[in-house]
Structure 1
């Protein structure tokens, strides 16, 4: 393949722009905010799960407390009715009086036991409320950190994308001046060689693979016409000759 020396050198400009686009894409993908957001999101999920569990526990305790208080109220009302019957003198049988007094005593113990249950449930409910309040604050804190990291990431995205768009436009202009067959070969090699399809020959060394050309290969490059598109024997990339190639 033949191409004017100026077109071959122009290919280095295209390569430099492609490298810059690769760098921008890598930077976009490797922003520290990505890992930060991922870590914070995991924390947020865990905290939300703990918060839901605490809220569920508080809700369960609330229902349990209501039920226990209703049980206390029922026993208290029964005891009041029994005491009223006892005080009214309506019960005259000694056996009935004994049974009534025994029931009042039993109800008093039952009421005391139920009131202890109410207190125990109230303590558990209060602990769950405090835990839920603490977790709510922690969730809000993590959400604020995620919002901050997301804002910084999006700002970096905007900066990178703006530069990438500018470089892409410049690349279109420069590549548009390169012969189609030369550009096609370059793009093919770039896909095969990790994004570098053309490299400068500098002081007898290919800047693509960083290897010095063997004497025989160097002699072939020296003998090639200026418009001949030469390739590096080591890596296969297009080898662009310039005044500082050491030929």
Structure 2
């Protein structure tokens, strides 16, 4: 295949644009915010589970405290009723004695219930503090996630702008090149990767950086300026200039 030396040089412009696009694609895939967002998502899931457990602990204690308060109120009401009967007088001695014993028993029971309720209230205070701490950490982590997402989106927007710029430039370069040269370039890209065309410098292929053998150097030196040459080792298109060291 033949192409004018100017077209071969222009092919390097296409390679430059494609390399830039490949670098932008790699940057898009490997943004540090991606790993940060993944880590924050795991942390948020962990904290949310912890928050649910802490909330359940508070709710369970509230339910137990409410039950004890109800029991205590019932004991107080019954005790008050018995005390009113004692104050009212007129009871037979045996019934009076039994009523006094019941008031004493209810007093002890009320004390037990109040002590149990106090213990639960202390536990509830600690459980609430734990819930508040988890909620605070959850809020801070969400703020960190939102900030990381903002940076991620902002960086992606910049990458998208750069990609659009290079795609526009690529279209202009391709329009300047012969169709068969572009077809060969794309074919080489399929097998060699992003770099399909490389400048020959210092007697080396700019793609694989392998120094030419004597026979390879002679072959390239003898080739016409408009002949498309390819590296024997990496098969990339080699672009020769007066500074190629041949």
TM-score when normalising by structure 1: 0.93
Write out aligned runs for 1:129-140 (5 A). 129-140=128-139
Query: Which residue of structure 2 aligns with residue 65 of structure 1?
Result: 65
Matched position secondary structure for 1:239: strand
Provide the C-alpha distance between the structure 2 equivalents of 1:203 and 1:110, rounded to a whole number of angstroms.
100
Matched position secondary structure for 1:244: coil
Query: Which residue of structure 2 aligns with residue 100 of structure 1?
Result: 99
Write out aligned runs for 1:63-142 (5 A). 63-94=63-94, 96-142=95-141
Provide the C-alpha distance between the structure 1 equivalents of 2:241 and 2:30, rounded to a whole number of angstroms.
35
Write out aligned runs for 1:154-233 (5 A). 154-233=153-232
Provide the C-alpha distance between the structure 1 equivalents of 2:36 and 2:128, rounded to a whole number of angstroms.
30
Provide the C-alpha distance between the structure 1 equivalents of 2:187 and 2:193, rounded to a whole number of angstroms.
11
Matched position secondary structure for 2:199: strand
Query: Which residue of structure 1 aligns with residue 40 of structure 2?
Result: 40
Provide the C-alpha distance between the structure 1 equivalents of 2:149 and 2:82, rounded to a whole number of angstroms.
69
Query: Which residue of structure 2 aligns with residue 242 of structure 1?
Result: 241
RMSD: 1.6
Structure 1 stretches of 4+ with a deviation exceeding 6 A read: none
Provide the C-alpha distance between the structure 2 equivalents of 1:146 and 1:239, rounded to a whole number of angstroms.
48
Structure 1 residue runs of 5 or longer lacking an equivalent are: none
Matched position secondary structure for 1:206: coil
More off after superposition, 216-225 vs 160-169: 216-225
Matched position secondary structure for 2:52: helix
**Count of residues paired in the alignment:** 246
Provide the C-alpha distance between the structure 1 equivalents of 2:115 and 2:182, rounded to a whole number of angstroms.
86
Provide the C-alpha distance between the structure 2 equivalents of 1:64 and 1:121, rounded to a whole number of angstroms.
8
Deviation at 1:100, TM superposition (A): 2.2
Provide the C-alpha distance between the structure 2 equivalents of 1:175 and 1:75, rounded to a whole number of angstroms.
93
Provide the C-alpha distance between the structure 2 equivalents of 1:49 and 1:143, rounded to a whole number of angstroms.
14
Provide the C-alpha distance between the structure 2 equivalents of 1:93 and 1:192, rounded to a whole number of angstroms.
111
What's the CA shift string for 1:111-144, capped at 9, x where partnerless? 1111111111111221122222222222221222
Provide the C-alpha distance between the structure 1 equivalents of 2:35 and 2:237, rounded to a whole number of angstroms.
38
Provide the C-alpha distance between the structure 1 equivalents of 2:179 and 2:130, rounded to a whole number of angstroms.
69
Provide the C-alpha distance between the structure 1 equivalents of 2:62 and 2:183, rounded to a whole number of angstroms.
73
Question: Are 2:27 and 1:27 equivalent residues in the alignment?
Answer: yes
